[in-house]
Structure 1
Amino acid sequence: MSTDHPKVLRWAILAAGKISKVFVDDLLIDPRTREVTDISHKLVAVGSRSIERAQEFINSFEKLKGEKVQAYGSYEELFNDQEVDIVYIGSPHSLHHLHTKLSLLAGKHVLCEKPMTVNAKQAEEIFKISKEKGLFVMEGLWTRFFPLMTKLQEVIKSGTIGNILQVHADFGIRFDPKECTSNHRIFDPMLAGGGLLDLGPYSWTMLAMTLLPQSTLLKDPKKMNGNKEHSNDGNSLNEESLMMPKIKSSAVMYRHPDAKPNSSKIDASTISIIEFPTSSGEIIPGIMETSITRPTLDDRAVTIYGSMG
């Protein structure tokens, strides 16, 4: 792609909430400020529960004054907009699967806020549709792209800390029930509330970025056949060769004081031990925790134990 004529990616925003506003703030930053010259981004549509709310969202951005951005009072109208290339989904967790699916079926690429789905079955359906239609779909998790993450992987690859023996990732934020009603997204089970789906993707990402590069989730690569994909380190991967790591988990369940007595609970704290196999036959444990009842200490978010420190 010529840098004189960068590809213009035309975005639509589905759900005009707080997280969508944070995303648009970043989207409107000129890519050239981060030395990217082959692509540019343009916001062309916003869909919300009402056209007034969508327009209010558009008007909140100084950089959009004078720009033509279509406001829609229904998501169906947004899906039918032929000017849209890709949809950013910032709706509640429980709606991510539906909205991602509808976007793909409408022929749109998708960037969905984490978690993309609330279970594996939903995720399998999403990727099946994406593959069939030849469309890009991705879970939005900004921490994966921090410069710090790149530096961290460089340090691990250099061998400075030796072989990784264990990684402990913890993410906790205290949500005070006195300040949040029972229908707040974090406390409402109908909105897929709880710490695991809201905070867990961050803890999992730290395990994936540190342990997967040295974990061999492969059978004998020489015996692999069929269509091959490649991991970041160049190893060939395919679905038949991947072995799921073993997971042991437990959770402390919680019900908001103002919730109905017979209503479902959400997970207040979780801990999972994930076993990552290596080529030597050893197992590297990855421990991830989440909590909505206490915050994580600044110096205890991620601890990586290496054979050399």
Structure 2
Amino acid sequence: MTDSPRKLCRWGIIGLGGISTKFATSIIRDNQSTDPETPKHAIVAVGSSSLEKAQSFVDKIYKGRPEPFSGSLYGSYEDLVADPNIDIIYIGTPHQRHHDDTLLCLRAGKHVLVEKPFAVNAQEAQEMAAVAEGRGLFLMEALWTRYLPAAVKVRELLDKGILGDIRHVVADLCRPANTTGENKSEKHLARKSLPIISPVPFNADPAHRFLNPDLAGGALLDLGIYPLQWLQFILGPLNGDKDPQVSAHIEKHPLTGVDGVTSAVLHYTEAKALATFTTSIEYFGSDHVTLYGTQGVLRILGPNWAPTSVVFTSGTNNDGKEEVFDCSYEGNGMRFEADEAARCVLGGRLESLSARVQESVLMARVMDGIRRQGGVKYPFEVEIGKTVP
């Protein structure tokens, strides 16, 4: 008797920038899961604004690979979503396009994995969620960090109750987007042998997505989603999935007025816990996550978008035994979220229990509240949190 063949998840990709390059590279080059319940991955369709751009993307991804790309190339997103051979579409377009591109895919009957942030505000997020639910389609925000070995280990430890009652969580992520001359961010990360999450401009170009308000630029949506998702991952379940109370302050970037430095205190009232985070595109800062509990401290080390170790210190006076958990992995790590999406889609589930759609809507509401208190409105909004119809 032979084992039944592994299922195959067929991906379409739209938006062919840096994040899509990393995603596509991971699912075809990184070691695929040996779990027989996890499907294998294949890219069967690539769409861009022109066939030339789609071909260039494929040439780069498949360079040096023994197997050539055998899927379809499309010169428009509309043509791609009509392809009947696609199981799920990955959307890696800029922030302000996530809403419209997701709705295009959903209305064509396609399941969707959309890059973070899920949407630029809660109004858009709620519409995306409603359309997916109404059409019985899978929808997930690409919170790839949630599926890394470190996040799996953190969830395991929390479920065991090793911290006692969690009283405070701290998570920051600050990376400058206004350096001049040499790319200091890239040198800093290279010294630590850490992945670079996105290119950092040399000369504070106001048109760059980090700084451009028309592209929903600023620290919060681009970097802040990482610490925020950790706070929600840790405290959300303890809070009955209710919105935390938010107190926030923003210092606007002097060049374009996007949020340059953003700090917030979140009160998870049902959990009886506080959480704090700061995010900035103006300076380097901490990138760890620290959980303080009544029975110990848990530290998630490394950049919090891609941590590789977790350290638990037991005791109430920081004098207990320290346990270090190695959570390293091969590749850039985006395969893990692809595995989860594929399991859900081919298994008939409409959302991942680790990144539920309404949690993404909740985080969009939190970010709306932070921007509202800080006075940051995008040009395409009629008011903070509401997009022009």
What's the TM-score once normalised by structure 2's chain length? 0.66
Cα pair 1:167 1:287 within 8 Å, conserved: yes
Aligned to 1:42: 42
How far did residue 245 of structure 1 move? 2.2
CA distance in 1, matches of 2:3, 2:228: 36
Task: Look up the match of 2:215.
Answer: 191
| Post-superposition offset of 1:71 | 1.4
1:64 Cα offset (Å): 7.4
Work out the CA distance in 2 between the residues paired with 1:48 and 1:175: 27
Q: Secondary structure at the match of 1:28?
A: helix
Post-superposition CA distance 1:56-106 (Å, at most 9, x none) = 111111337433121112111112212222111111111111101111011
Deviations, residues 33-55 of structure 1 (Å, cap 9, x unaligned): 44244412111111112211110
Q: Does 1:247 align with 2:246?
A: yes
Alignment of 1:265 with 2:257, yes or no, is yes
Q: CA-to-partner distance for each residue in 1:162-186, whole Å, 9 max, x for gaps?
A: 2111001101111125414111000
**1:252: Cα distance to partner?**
0.7
Deviation at 1:119, TM superposition (A): 0.4
1:6-43 CA deviation, whole Å, 9 max, x = no partner? 33221111011111010011111477544244412111
Q: Which residue number corresponds to residue 85 of structure 2?
A: 83
8 Å contact 1:31–1:39 — kept in the other structure?
no
Name the SS of the counterpart of 2:236 in structure 1. Answer: helix
Answer 1 or 2: higher relative contact order, Cα 8 Å, separation at least 6: 2
Residues 198, 249 of structure 1: CA spacing in aligned structure 2 closer, same or farther, 3 A cutoff?
Answer: same
Which residue matches 2:10? 10
TM-score, with structure 1 as normaliser: 0.82
Q: Is the 8 A contact 1:31 1:40 kept in 2?
A: no
State the Cα distance separating 1:297 from its structure 2 match: 2.9
Is the Cα contact below 8 Å between 1:187 and 1:255 reproduced in 2? no
Tell whether 2:267 aligns with 1:275: yes
Does the Cα contact within 8 Å between 1:215 and 1:276 map onto a contact in 2? Answer: yes
Amino acid at match of 2:292: Y
In the alignment, does 2:206 pair up with 1:182? yes
Structure 1 residues 34 and 205, CA, compared in 2 at 3 Å: closer, same or farther? farther
- In structure 2, the CA distance between the partners of 1:37 and 1:160, relative to structure 1 (3 Å rule), is closer
CA contact (8 A) 2:172 2:286 kept: no
**Residue number in structure 2 paired with 1:307:** 294
Which residue number corresponds to residue 21 of structure 2? Answer: 21
Report if aligned partners of 1:14, 1:87 keep a CA contact under 8 Å in 2.
yes
Q: Kindly tell me the number of residue pairs found equivalent between the two proteins.
A: 271
Identical aligned residues as a percent: 37
Distance 1:34 1:209, change over 3 A: farther
- Deviates further, 23-32 or 45-54: 23-32
